[in-house]
Structure 1
Amino acid sequence: MTQQRPGDQRPGPFWAAARAHALSAATLHGLPAFPLTRSKLPAIATAHREASATCTGQCGKAGHGVHDASADPDQVRALFAAAPWAAGYGIACGRPPHHLFGLDLDRKDGTGGTDGIANFRALAARYDFELPRTATVVTQSGGLHLWLTVQTDMRIPNTASLLAPGVDTRGTGGYLVGPGSLGPKGRYRFAPGSGPRHIASVPTRLLELLLTSQAPERASQTLSPLGSPQRRLDGLVRTVRATRTGRNNCLYWAARRAFAASDIDPEIATADLLAAALETGLPEAEAQRTIASAAKGAARSKETRT
């Protein structure tokens, strides 16, 4: 990466702390970081003025927003040297090794304010899933950023209030404001007793809800309810389609979920999941073996429970 020269401008009053926090995240925890302004936007001006530019860093320059993020401490130092006005840092989601997925639970006070925390709790109760203890950041407005991880390199969407009012998601191509950053209303910080060492896996049901809600069929007026067998199968199929690496593992996971459900037709599940796997480029024979193995595993689990 070509380092941009900051000229004679001296670092701002919050630069050193932001740089130190970003280096800690990158060096100690492998989290890809890049500098942000106090308004929570990328601190380095865009490398391409053309609105149609599709470069995400291949040019070798800084100035590609979240695509600049790196866990290499030398790269992080270079990025901050190019942004002496930085007051915080962002952490890129969807990158190895953590494949970070963020839940942004917003909280707005006043008349008609939104409480994303309460709305998310209601969502979890409605669809019967629990959020495990995980790294949690308290935002400047009193909301929460919950850090989760997905098991494979699937593309997780960035959404705003799709799951519930005030519940946003940060996935592939998105970023979370790192703890220690200074925003317009205050500083981001880890919640008491929380930290980056433990990032829990995203609950399967939550992932299904998110990916199912993103399905193009959502606009149809003839859709069955979100919790119906077909909608749950649709969510599993969409998850398989979204996976770019670890495709076999994802297919096995989705097939086990489908075969374990007593109200999902195994023949329909087999056909739909096989078609989705083939769309990702997985060889047919390999996909068939994986689905058959998942069917046997689900059958053994049912026998054990009985």
Structure 2
Amino acid sequence: MGGSRDIVPHGERWRNGLRDATEAVRRGMHVFPIGRTKMPAIRSPHRDEPRGTPRCRGECGRPGHGVHDATDDRQRLAELFAAAPHATGYGIACGRGETPLLGVDLDRKNGVDGVASLRALGDEHGFTVPETVVIATPSGGLHLWLTGPAAAVVQNSAGKLGPGIDVRGYGGYLVGPGSWTPTGVYQVAAMHPVAEAPQALIDLMIPKPTPVQARRPVQMPIRRRSAVLTGLIRHILNAPEGQLNNRLYWAACRAFETGVDPAAVTNALVDAAVTAGHPEGAAARTVASARHAPARNRR
């Protein structure tokens, strides 16, 4: 899979994307088409539905649900690409199956070196990342492919393990090698069997939850909450597919800076996240993590 390519007509990029995605399916991966911006290439069939409509993750049977469209069936994959004429690559779903794929995205830009951050994290916690599949990104970063135990539900995160280290878990995806973007092509930098993530790294990806005060239904109407908190709740409710947890963490960090009672903030944000489709336990852990994060990590 993958490899450098000269500038080619869009139709050939589409064919290359389908070819590489089909090869990924042959290797047992769940994939779906993405476009030049690395976002899903099929528009949501629910985009015109009114706010408050229950969130669909593909139960309707139509394409357009992002990572929830991912398939390991070649015929279904061909149908998805047929519905995505502007596709230039493919995404690989993470967090599925008995040995779920996990992605460690190491950025190297704007003075941040995720590779050095991961090395320092390993030195601190006593682990070494084994040889595995490594994908080079057009911006100079690296994607490491690892597997985790089926019981370990790893959530997506950005910068929580260290500067320049993002994690792709359940509900996230990796850009597949061979995918084209305006800045370049994702290419295989090292090809080995996908290795198991060290347990110490898994433990960091799934920190022990901080106890949260028992949640009670929020009785206070939205109009009486602070304008800032109201805006943050709206930010959560309008989260695009695959961005709900990241938005929740960011909004929680901002909300705990407003001076509003922390218990009220927790209740309001967890309520909003659950309304938007986030599991309640996971939402509570995300908000608790933001509440107890050092101020320097909230930016």
**TM-score, length of structure 1 as denominator length:** 0.63
Superimposed CA distance per residue, residues 178-227 of structure 1 (whole angstroms, 9 cap, x where no aligned partner): 000012311001114x15xx111111001111211x73359xxxxxxxxx
Q: Select 1:203's aligned residue among 179, 198, 202.
A: 198
Q: Who is 2:234 aligned against?
A: none
> Counterparts in 2 of 1:137-286, with a 5 A limit?
137-192=135-190, 194-195=191-192, 198-212=193-207, 215-216=209-210
- 1:38 and 1:75 map into 2 onto residues whose CA distance is 21
Q: Who is 1:22 aligned against?
A: 21
Superimposed CA distance per residue, residues 97-156 of structure 1 (whole angstroms, 9 cap, x where no aligned partner): 5410110001104xxx21111111111111111111111111111111111111224311
- 1:97 and 1:179 map into 2 onto residues whose CA distance is 23
- 1:125 and 1:184 map into 2 onto residues whose CA distance is 36
- 1:142 and 1:217 map into 2 onto residues whose CA distance is 39
Deviation at 1:11, TM superposition (A): 6.4
- 1:217 and 1:106 map into 2 onto residues whose CA distance is 32
2:11 is the alignment partner of 1:41: no
2:67 is the alignment partner of 1:66: yes
Q: Who is 1:238 aligned against?
A: none
- 1:97 and 1:21 map into 2 onto residues whose CA distance is 24
Superimposed CA distance per residue, residues 14-40 of structure 1 (whole angstroms, 9 cap, x where no aligned partner): 10001100000002x110010000100
Identity fraction in percent: 47
Q: Who is 1:83 aligned against?
A: 84
Q: Who is 2:265 aligned against?
A: none
Greater shift, 48-57 or 73-82, is seen at 48-57
Q: Who is 1:241 aligned against?
A: none
1:26 match: secondary structure: helix
Greater shift, 84-93 or 147-156, is seen at 147-156
Is the Cα–Cα contact under 8 Å of residues 94 and 174 in structure 2 kept in the other structure?
yes
1:25 match: secondary structure: helix
Q: Who is 2:251 aligned against?
A: none
Deviation at 1:166, TM superposition (A): 0.6
Is the Cα–Cα contact under 8 Å of residues 31 and 91 in structure 1 kept in the other structure?
yes
Q: Select 2:131's aligned residue among 129, 133, 137.
A: 133
**TM-score, length of structure 2 as denominator length:** 0.64
Greater shift, 59-68 or 49-58, is seen at 49-58
Q: Who is 2:104 aligned against?
A: 103
- 1:11 and 1:140 map into 2 onto residues whose CA distance is 18
Letter in 2 for 1:208: D
Q: Select 2:115's aligned residue among 114, 117, 134.
A: 117
Q: Who is 1:242 aligned against?
A: none
Letter in 2 for 1:114: V
> Residues 68 and 168 of structure 1: is their aligned pair in 2 closer, same or farther, counting only changes over 3 Å?
same
Letter in 1 for 2:56: C
- 2:123 and 2:31 map into 1 onto residues whose CA distance is 34
Gaps of 5+ in 2: 1-8, 213-280, 282-299
1:156 match: secondary structure: coil
> Residues 215 and 18 of structure 1: is their aligned pair in 2 closer, same or farther, counting only changes over 3 Å?
same
Superimposed CA distance per residue, residues 243-291 of structure 1 (whole angstroms, 9 cap, x where no aligned partner): xxxxxxxxxxxxxxxxxxxxxxxxxxxxxxxxxxxx9xxxxxxxxxxxx
Q: Who is 2:270 aligned against?
A: none
1:20 match: secondary structure: helix
Letter in 2 for 1:108: K
Gaps of 5+ in 1: 1-9, 219-278, 280-306
Is the Cα–Cα contact under 8 Å of residues 99 and 150 in structure 2 kept in the other structure?
no
- 1:185 and 1:217 map into 2 onto residues whose CA distance is 44
- 1:162 and 1:20 map into 2 onto residues whose CA distance is 35
Number of residues of Structure 1 aligned to a counterpart in Structure 2? 202
Is the Cα–Cα contact under 8 Å of residues 11 and 84 in structure 1 kept in the other structure?
no
